[in-house]
Structure formats: C-alpha cells, structure tokens
Chains A and B, each alone.
Chain A
C-alpha cells in the first residue's frame, strides 16, 4: 500500500514538468531538489514499513476495549489517513536532520544549498510546519532555515552512489530524551552494562506518556556528552527488526524492551502492554573520567526515510 502511493505521487511532478517545459529532463540541480522534496514529503506523511509492522503488532497485543486499545486504534487510523491525504502525520514536523552518504570528491557546499531549497519548498507545500525559531529573538522566519537548521551530516563512503537519509524528530519526544552520567547513586547504577540497563529503564519510566509513546529508543554508551547524544539519535536510523552485531548489546536491547513493557505505562501513558516499541544501542569510547549514557526517545510517529539517488539525481531506491 505504502509503495503504491509513493510511486503514484513520485510520478506526478515529472508528468507536469514535461507538459509545462517540454524538455526531456530537469537540470541536475532541479532534479536533486525535486528528489529531496519527495523524500521530505514521504518522511513527513508515511511511517516506514518496519515501524508500521511493529505498531500493528503492538496494537493487536492490547486488551480489547481498553483505553490503550483505543489509543492504538487512533494511531493506526492516523497513519492511514496521513498517507492517504499526503499530509503530516503530526503537526510537529520536528527538527529536520539529514544524513548524506557520498562518494569521494563529492561537493558538499552546493548540496547543502539544494537541501535548503528543498526544505523551503517542502514548507511551502505544507509537508513541514513553520517550525524553526530563533532561540534569542523568538523570531520564526517561516522557512525552517536558520542557525543550525536544518541539521546536515555528511559521510564519505566507497562507490559512486549518493544516498540521503532523513529524520524528522518531534519536540515532545526530544524533551523526554535524557543523558546519564555513571555512576548514578540514586539508581545504584554502576559503570557496567547492568548500570546502563538501569538508567535506560529509568528514562522510560520518567518519560511516562509524555513522549507520545509507545516510543522507540536510540542509545549510546560512552563518548563525550555531545558525541554520545549524536550517536544515540543516529541509532534511530536502524530498522526496528534488525539485529545488533554486538551480542551483548543485542541481548540488552531485547531485555530493555521486554522489561519496559512490564512497567504498564502503555500507549500515551494510559496504562497498557506496550510502552516501548524498540531499543537500539551502540557504544563509543570514553575517557577514564567519564561514563555517559545517552538516550534518544522517538515518538510512535517515527519519521525516518532514505533514498539512493541515480546518476541524474532521481530517486533510484527507497531505503526503508
């Protein structure tokens, strides 16, 4: 269903541009911008398949006619409706974060400019809310551009392909994200995986329903404060049904989900069986003096997508 609609919508702009301009194809720059706008549209309006499957399974699991069941039903309807209407899943279209994987010799500066154009266009089309505010003056330019916005990260990789991943991270769930410094005396959490387990569960308890749960976690064990938070959020790019290549972390990920779902916080904090949809954990080295654990909480409206671009910058493949 998701793929059908994506294809249909993706085909539309091409057709109209042919009629209007009677040229065979767009310039490389215009085609890039068009592909990026399409990436933003799909990210904002359609949850990825892996997320949808997890939500559907969680919805089935709730006891019928409870408030949790009711909330999950509304969530599922909302997912269908947003896709059908091609309108944002949530009115908070979040912090716009791009991850670009490119070949050696790639020019980052012009690509950044194309991203900014695409973000401005997507805002005009209503795929993004006017969501970027100057922290000092309170001014909202209405374009989603400004100091640090959108957030853009580049990575060089082998091969000739360019792929672009996008995450739209809502404010409500960002507000319940957390960073712990181990040891934590209050939680009796030491500098080991048992301590890590404790603080992650504590973060989920503290979030209650406020992060628009059932949520998903990205976690980083170690790193300095900034890298730790950055790597934690990047874990949200992993598919929910993948496996951690580190056996200990894989085990911990499963254990966290299982334990958190015993807390009974449930969808929206109404009480219920599913509090957490998934937990993805990575690690980074630390200095001997520090031991940070960073937890990035993602709401059920888990918005991430990615594309591989072809030579002409058209969308060759969807990544999720």
Chain B
C-alpha cells in the first residue's frame, strides 16, 4: 500500500505505477460532465487546479441547519464520458490526478505521460466506504450546474484507489482487455 499526501506534484505521481494500491490524503475537487464541458468551452476554472486531483463523482450531499455540507454517498462515475476533454484539462490547468471508474482512452493516457498525471480507479458502487473517507467539505463552485455536477472541494483521508493508468504510458485497462481477448479466442 502506497500513500499520496497533499500537496501533490507531477514528480510525486510519476513515482506511481500501474497496479499500485494508493491511499490519498489531502484535497480532491469533484468534476464531471458539466464541468469538463465548461472548461473545454474555454471558461476558466473558478479554482486553481494546478497540481490538484479531479474526482469524477456526483456526490449525494446534505446541508445541515447551520449551512454546513456533508457528503453521504460518493462513489465514482464512469470516466470515459470525459475522454474528449480530459487531456485538455490536464494540459491547460496542470491537474496531476484523475479519479474515476472504468478507465479512460489513449488521449488521456498520452496527456498523463506528457504532463505528469495519473488515473486512479476507485471501486465503483462503493459509495459508503468512499464517503466515509471525506473528512470535510471545504468549498462549492459552479453550483448553478446542479449539486451533483458542481465542483466540490473535499478533504479526504486515506481515500482508497488503484493506479490503472500511470504517467509512463501504461494502462491496466489496455492490458486486461488484451489478455482477456487472447483467452476469449480460445473459449469461443
């Protein structure tokens, strides 16, 4: 088990390799379809994303009477929908990590290598385990996109992920697809 602690950097994530099980402690910014489209359309992000990690997640959130937010369910959403935009966000805003599920494609893999970024796979469906790792909600941006689509600034402790695409051009998704294809040929 490896640890990745805030502040993050391209150098730190370049140390990580496909297959590494990692516990992340520090800051995450959620961002899914609406946020990626917004940035792709040329809008500046409302927060500085340099050396930050983006989490593909539409959390279930509750506000208490004092106006304090808590996250009650926060599993990853399917990442491949951001494939047209992710490389640009890596290039233009300097994010060093993407958390999601299901993996991403070649464009993202290339950008990870060129700029120093890693794709972390969280366990899909594990909404409760992952929500437990969120220690505080520190900010809410682009609320006009609706709460699941907004950017949530979260502090997490020991957030469990697996590196499935690293900054050296390796992708576990590509490898598993290729090896299972070989086996498929023998059983069909």
Contact = CB atoms under 8 A, between A and B. Distances in A.
A129 B60 contact: yes
Contacts of A75: 123, 125-126
Interface stretch (A114-122, A201-209, A228-236, A244-252): A201-209
A259 B187 contact: yes
B147 to A, nearest CB: 10
Interface size class of A (residues with CB under 8 A): 35 or more
A48 to B, nearest CB: 15
A265 B125 contact: no
Contact of B124 (A70, A172, A205): A172
A160 interface: no
Interface in A254-278: 259, 262-266, 268-271
Nearest to B184: A205
A100 interface: no
A40 B72 CA distance: 18
Interface in B97-129: 101-103, 121, 123-129
Contact of B127 (A91, A188, A263, A269): A91
The main secondary structure of chain A at its interface with chain B is: loop
A169 B104 CA distance: 24
Contact of B75 (A67, A90, A201): A90
Contacts of B62: 126
B183 A262 contact: yes
Given A67-B19, A172-B78, A210-B78, A266 B73 contact: no
Interface string A68-104: 0011001101100110010111111000000000000
Contacts, number: 131
Contacts of B164: 270
A264 B75 contact: no
B31 interface: no
Nearest to A259: B187
Contacts of B187: 201, 259, 262-263
28 contacts: A70-B21, A78-B125, A78-B128, A81-B128, A81-B132, A87-B127, A88-B128, A89-B125, A89-B128, A90-B124, A92-B75, A129-B73, A175-B78, A201-B184, A205-B181, A208-B176, A208-B180, A209-B176, A210-B80, A210-B102, A259-B187, A263-B184, A263-B187, A264-B176, A264-B179, A268-B123, A269-B103, A270-B176
Interface of B: 19, 21, 58-60, 62, 72-75, 78, 80, 101-103, 121, 123-129, 132, 146, 160, 162, 164, 172-173, 175-177, 179-181, 183-184, 187-188
